[in-house]
Structure 1
Amino acid sequence: MTITAFTLDDLKKALFSAAGADEGIDMAGDILDRSFTELGYDSLALLETAALISREHGIALEDDAVTAVTTPRELIALITSA
Protein backbone atom coordinates (compact mmCIF):
# COMPACT_ATOMS: atom_id res chain seq x y z
CA MET A 1 0.00 0.00 0.00
CA THR A 2 1.31 3.47 -0.89
CA ILE A 3 0.30 6.47 1.19
CA THR A 4 0.02 9.48 -1.08
CA ALA A 5 -1.44 12.00 1.34
CA PHE A 6 0.44 11.66 4.63
CA THR A 7 0.71 15.19 5.99
CA LEU A 8 2.68 16.99 8.65
CA ASP A 9 -0.47 17.02 10.79
CA ASP A 10 -0.70 13.22 10.41
CA LEU A 11 2.92 12.92 11.53
CA LYS A 12 2.38 15.22 14.51
CA LYS A 13 -0.61 13.13 15.64
CA ALA A 14 1.43 9.93 15.32
CA LEU A 15 4.40 11.45 17.20
CA PHE A 16 2.17 12.69 20.03
CA SER A 17 0.34 9.37 20.24
CA ALA A 18 3.43 7.16 20.14
CA ALA A 19 6.01 9.27 21.95
CA GLY A 20 4.31 12.24 23.57
CA ALA A 21 5.49 15.82 23.28
CA ASP A 22 7.93 18.05 25.07
CA GLU A 23 5.89 20.95 26.46
CA GLY A 24 8.78 23.32 25.89
CA ILE A 25 8.83 22.71 22.12
CA ASP A 26 6.54 24.70 19.79
CA MET A 27 5.12 22.15 17.34
CA ALA A 28 2.59 24.61 15.91
CA GLY A 29 4.91 26.30 13.43
CA ASP A 30 6.70 25.07 10.36
CA ILE A 31 8.77 22.18 11.69
CA LEU A 32 9.32 20.28 8.44
CA ASP A 33 13.05 20.98 8.33
CA ARG A 34 13.82 21.07 12.05
CA SER A 35 15.74 18.07 13.34
CA PHE A 36 13.92 15.50 15.44
CA THR A 37 16.56 16.03 18.12
CA GLU A 38 15.70 19.73 18.19
CA LEU A 39 12.03 18.77 18.50
CA GLY A 40 12.73 16.49 21.45
CA TYR A 41 12.50 13.11 19.71
CA ASP A 42 15.22 10.46 19.79
CA SER A 43 15.60 7.33 17.67
CA LEU A 44 13.44 5.25 20.03
CA ALA A 45 10.60 7.77 19.70
CA LEU A 46 10.91 7.62 15.91
CA LEU A 47 10.82 3.82 15.94
CA GLU A 48 7.72 3.84 18.14
CA THR A 49 6.09 6.38 15.83
CA ALA A 50 7.01 4.34 12.75
CA ALA A 51 5.54 1.21 14.33
CA LEU A 52 2.29 3.05 14.99
CA ILE A 53 2.15 4.39 11.44
CA SER A 54 2.94 0.93 10.05
CA ARG A 55 0.09 -0.64 12.01
CA GLU A 56 -2.44 2.07 11.17
CA HIS A 57 -1.62 2.29 7.47
CA GLY A 58 -0.52 -1.26 6.72
CA ILE A 59 2.92 -0.31 5.41
CA ALA A 60 6.39 -1.61 6.21
CA LEU A 61 9.00 0.86 7.39
CA GLU A 62 12.52 -0.49 7.86
CA ASP A 63 14.08 0.41 11.22
CA ASP A 64 17.36 1.46 9.59
CA ALA A 65 15.56 3.80 7.21
CA VAL A 66 13.51 5.34 10.04
CA THR A 67 16.52 6.00 12.24
CA ALA A 68 18.43 7.49 9.28
CA VAL A 69 15.94 10.33 8.74
CA THR A 70 16.62 13.53 10.63
CA THR A 71 13.62 15.77 9.90
CA PRO A 72 9.84 15.47 9.62
CA ARG A 73 10.12 16.21 5.88
CA GLU A 74 12.41 13.19 5.42
CA LEU A 75 10.16 10.92 7.47
CA ILE A 76 7.06 11.98 5.55
CA ALA A 77 8.89 11.25 2.28
CA LEU A 78 9.89 7.83 3.60
CA ILE A 79 6.31 7.07 4.62
CA THR A 80 4.79 8.15 1.31
CA SER A 81 7.32 6.08 -0.63
CA ALA A 82 6.77 2.93 1.46
Structure 2
Amino acid sequence: MPQIYLPRLVEIIRECAGDPDERDLDGDILDITYQDLGYDSLALLEISAKLEQDLGVSISGEELKTPRHTLQLVNTETAGEVA
Protein backbone atom coordinates (compact mmCIF):
# COMPACT_ATOMS: atom_id res chain seq x y z
CA MET A 1 0.00 0.00 0.00
CA PRO A 2 1.35 3.47 -0.79
CA GLN A 3 2.45 5.81 1.93
CA ILE A 4 0.34 8.75 3.00
CA TYR A 5 1.59 12.26 3.51
CA LEU A 6 0.50 15.26 5.53
CA PRO A 7 -2.04 16.66 3.01
CA ARG A 8 -4.02 13.38 3.05
CA LEU A 9 -3.80 13.16 6.84
CA VAL A 10 -5.10 16.73 7.13
CA GLU A 11 -8.04 15.75 4.87
CA ILE A 12 -8.81 12.85 7.21
CA ILE A 13 -8.54 15.05 10.30
CA ARG A 14 -10.87 17.65 8.80
CA GLU A 15 -13.33 15.01 7.66
CA CYS A 16 -13.46 13.38 11.10
CA ALA A 17 -12.99 16.26 13.51
CA GLY A 18 -13.18 19.52 11.58
CA ASP A 19 -10.80 22.45 11.76
CA PRO A 20 -9.50 23.32 15.22
CA ASP A 21 -9.97 26.75 16.73
CA GLU A 22 -6.43 26.82 18.11
CA ARG A 23 -4.33 26.31 14.95
CA ASP A 24 -4.48 26.40 11.17
CA LEU A 25 -4.07 22.89 9.78
CA ASP A 26 -2.47 24.34 6.66
CA GLY A 27 0.53 25.54 8.70
CA ASP A 28 3.47 23.63 10.11
CA ILE A 29 1.65 21.16 12.37
CA LEU A 30 3.81 18.03 12.08
CA ASP A 31 5.17 18.19 15.63
CA ILE A 32 2.23 19.80 17.42
CA THR A 33 0.27 17.41 19.63
CA TYR A 34 -3.32 16.78 18.74
CA GLN A 35 -4.25 18.12 22.16
CA ASP A 36 -2.45 21.40 21.39
CA LEU A 37 -4.22 21.47 18.03
CA GLY A 38 -7.50 21.35 19.95
CA TYR A 39 -8.58 17.74 19.42
CA ASP A 40 -9.91 15.57 22.22
CA SER A 41 -9.88 11.80 22.64
CA LEU A 42 -13.18 11.38 20.79
CA ALA A 43 -11.75 13.16 17.75
CA LEU A 44 -8.69 10.89 17.88
CA LEU A 45 -10.92 7.81 17.98
CA GLU A 46 -12.74 9.05 14.90
CA ILE A 47 -9.44 9.73 13.12
CA SER A 48 -8.10 6.27 13.98
CA ALA A 49 -11.35 4.65 12.76
CA LYS A 50 -11.08 6.54 9.46
CA LEU A 51 -7.44 5.47 9.05
CA GLU A 52 -8.50 1.87 9.53
CA GLN A 53 -11.44 2.22 7.14
CA ASP A 54 -9.48 3.95 4.39
CA LEU A 55 -6.03 2.42 4.78
CA GLY A 56 -6.58 -0.83 6.65
CA VAL A 57 -4.30 0.14 9.52
CA SER A 58 -5.30 -0.56 13.09
CA ILE A 59 -4.01 2.24 15.31
CA SER A 60 -5.83 3.21 18.48
CA GLY A 61 -6.71 6.83 19.16
CA GLU A 62 -4.50 6.66 22.24
CA GLU A 63 -1.46 6.00 20.02
CA LEU A 64 -1.94 9.21 18.04
CA LYS A 65 0.37 11.89 19.44
CA THR A 66 1.29 14.28 16.62
CA PRO A 67 0.66 14.29 12.87
CA ARG A 68 4.31 13.28 12.28
CA HIS A 69 3.95 10.36 14.69
CA THR A 70 0.68 9.34 13.02
CA LEU A 71 2.28 9.36 9.58
CA GLN A 72 5.16 7.24 10.89
CA LEU A 73 2.77 4.71 12.46
CA VAL A 74 0.58 4.46 9.37
CA ASN A 75 3.45 4.29 6.90
CA THR A 76 5.34 1.73 8.98
CA GLU A 77 2.26 -0.48 9.18
CA THR A 78 1.44 -0.18 5.49
CA ALA A 79 5.06 -0.84 4.51
CA GLY A 80 4.93 -4.13 6.39
CA GLU A 81 2.01 -5.46 4.33
CA VAL A 82 2.64 -8.14 1.79
CA ALA A 83 1.44 -7.24 -1.69
Q: TM-score, normalised by structure 2?
A: 0.79
Q: 2:75 aligns with which of 72, 77, 80?
A: 80
- The structural deviation recorded for 1:8 is 0.6
Moved over 3 A (4+): none
TM-score, normalised to structure 1, is 0.80
**Percent same amino acid among aligned pairs?**
34
Q: Deviations over 1:15-45 (max 9, x none)?
A: 1101111245211111100111111112221
Residue in 1 aligned with 2:64?
69
Determine which structure has the larger helix proportion and give its number.
2
How many residues get paired?
77
Asked which structure has the greater RCO (Cα within 8 Å, sep 6+), the reply is: 1
**Which residue matches 2:20?**
22
Task: Name the Cα RMSD after superposition.
Answer: 1.6
